Copies of this chain bind each other. A is one copy, B any other.
Amino acid sequence: MYRELLLLGVLRQRQMHGYELHEFINRDLAFCTDIKKPTAYHLLQKMAEQGWITEIPEPNPPTNRPPRTVYQLTEAGEATFLDYLRQNLATYSPSYFNGDVGIAFIEALPSDEACALLEQRKIALTVALNALHVPHGEAHTKGGMSLIIEHQKRHLSTELAWLDEVISRIRTQP
């Protein structure tokens, strides 16, 4: 349901056509989701059926290109947006870390190898963390966006610290 909230929230700022919307999400909201293009189109269609958005054929269709469909929030859409937003803010929905699955079975490998593999993971994590210090979209500097980047930063730091703990525990035990 957070996907609908995301789409409504973006369309609330300004109307867009499908492709544009997907690009925007995958560039500026990549921390929030990795929604795929066909999924975005599918959700837009469903939301149009619900009456939350209207599908407008492109205003001035440039005769040569196939006409694009522009999506625009309706009043019902605005109401749904606010409803979903309140629900989202008021609740905590747990996240799953698929990296944990490997840790659960880590004893299946000799500890030397396990440590070497986790060192690789650490490098990947460090790369992700460093990439955060260079914000690359102007949308990132304003509003809730900076809060999300701060969140991501704290999360990755915590991951790194925990990984160190894991590695050292494995080194000192069998």
Contacts and interface: CB of A to CB of B under 8 A. Distances in A.
Interface of A: 2, 5-6, 9, 12, 29, 31-34, 81-82, 85-86, 88-109, 113-114, 117-118, 120-121, 124-125, 128, 143-145, 147-148, 150-151, 154-155, 158-159, 161-162, 165-166, 169
A14 B85 CA distance: 45
Lowest 8 CB-CB distances: which A-B pairs, in order?
A88-B102, A2-B98, A89-B117, A92-B124, A90-B120, A9-B105, A89-B102, A90-B117
A121 B90 contact: yes
A144 B106 contact: yes
B147 A101 contact: no
Complex copy number for this chain: 2
A50 B79 CA distance: 48
B109 A86 contact: yes
Contacts of A108: 9, 12, 81-82, 85
A127 B152 CA distance: 22
Given A117-B86, A150-B162, A162-B154, A93 B104 contact: no
A169 B145 CA distance: 13
Contact of A103 (B92, B101, B148): B148
A119 to B, nearest CB: 9
A22 to B, nearest CB: 16
B162 A107 contact: no
Contact of A92 (B6, B92, B99, B154): B99
B9 A104 contact: yes
